[in-house]
Amino acid sequence: MSRWEPNARGRLEEAALDLYTERGFDQTTVAEIAERAGLTERTYFRHFADKREVLFGGQDALIELVTTHLAEAPDSASPIDMVRGALRGVGEMFADRHAHARRRQAVINANPGLQERELIKLASLSAAIAEGLQHRGVPAPVAALTAETAIAVFKVAFVRWLDAGRDSDLSEVIGDSLDDLKALTADT
């Protein structure tokens, strides 16, 4: 096995996604993922706790990115504008990853257990946004409402982006979705 080649984590992620797409999540084992990546099961478990986590390994980086953007937002920004900047940062994180994101989402959509894990990930992101807003002085109820709204906008924008094709920009789609929300609330 060529286990000393660089980027073991990335190779495992790609191997898992390939196998999940070909065979299905439930029909794929960690041993098969490791073998496809040219690594050992032991190496797999150094990077991921289980076979689900290979699809969700970027969660900590995502939360860190969002909280950094919230902390760096101008003091004059409203809570929703702080979130706009943070979510657009997330969009930048997905630049050039459209095909990967589309394949990953198809695997998640085909498996209820993975859908549940995705919801847990989004709930963690919402909690991090709410906490980041509270650190900026936003009252807890407003921070929670803004965070939950941000997650709803992100979910809608992400689906729009996946459906739009590889030339679309997730940051722009997020901005457009937030503009749609503003227009919706202005009409009431």
List, in order of start, the domains of the chain with CATH numbers. 8-50 (1.10.10.60), 56-186 (1.10.357.10)
Query: Environment class of residue 133 by beta-carbon count within 10 Å: exposed (0-12), middle (13-18) or buried (19+)?
Result: buried
**pLDDT recorded at residue 188:** 57
Please, which residues have CB within 8 angstroms of residue 140's CB and are 6 or more apart in sequence? 130, 134
Segments in the chain below pLDDT 50: 1-3
**pLDDT recorded at residue 97:** 86
**pLDDT recorded at residue 115:** 96
**pLDDT recorded at residue 187:** 63
**pLDDT recorded at residue 75:** 92
CA 61 to chain centre: 9
**How many Cβ atoms are within 10 Å of 16's Cβ, its own excluded?**
28
In SS3 terms, 60-78 reads as HHHHHHHHHHHHHCCCCCC
**pLDDT recorded at residue 2:** 47
Please, which residues have CB within 8 angstroms of residue 163's CB and are 6 or more apart in sequence? none
